[in-house]
Amino acid sequence: MSGEVEYRRCDENDVDVLCALGMYTFRVTFSDTTAESDMLSYLVQAYSHDQVLRELTDPDSMFYLATVGGTPAGYMKLNTGAAQTEPMGDRYLEVQRLYVIPEFKRHHIGTGFMNLAFDAARRSRLPKMWLGVWEHNDPAQAFYQRMGYTFFSEHTFLVGADPQRDLLMSIDVPDLDED
């Protein structure tokens, strides 16, 4: 698919597209390594309309949508404060989710999302960003390392009843003018 990539912040009108994108991208990314029962359990829990609406209306969370030629191509979810999935405090912005539909992966959408995340951190005067990435998702780890992230810890991420190990990565926000 061709066309210009456009990014925008999501609002309550985007719940259905975020649910669909979340379910599709998570399934296509992890279905080969996750039991179907665990996959279904996780998708119902994480991407139900009510759950996504709750997250979308949380003042400590932000969702961004990328489209290519008007077609949804990916999304990103950022968290600050109490919305973070680990208690990192008030100096961090979390990139909780960054998913791109496979057909659009050569459009540099991930880099565009990362730039939006850096901008959000700078606007909020947050000097650090962090994320969790599945230990076996080598392409994502390589992307984050190219962006400048480094490993600092790990945590358990439940997919249904399956405990999986996520590697935690962080980065100092570039060009943050700390007075």
Per-residue pLDDT of the chain (179 residues; tens, 9 = 90+): 568 999 999 999 999 999 999 999 999 999 999 999 999 999 999 999 999 999 999 999 999 999 999 999 999 999 999 999 999 999 999 999 999 999 999 899 999 999 999 999 999 999 999 999 999 999 999 999 999 999 999 999 999 999 999 999 999 998 876 55
How far apart are alpha carbons 6 and 45 in whole angstroms?
A: 29
| Structural domain of 56 | 5-172
The verdict on residue 178 lying in a domain is: no
pLDDT digits (tens, 9 = 90+) for 97-114: 999 999 999 899 999 999
Residue at 91 is within a domain? yes
Longest C-alpha distance within the chain, in Å? 51
Pairing of strands 128-134, 92-100: parallel
Q: Residue 175: what pLDDT?
A: 84
Q: How many domains does the chain have?
A: 1
The answer to whether residue 92 is domain-embedded is yes
Q: Cα 87 to the chain's mean position, in Å?
A: 17
Are the C-beta atoms of 145 and 105 separated by less than 8 Å?
Answer: no
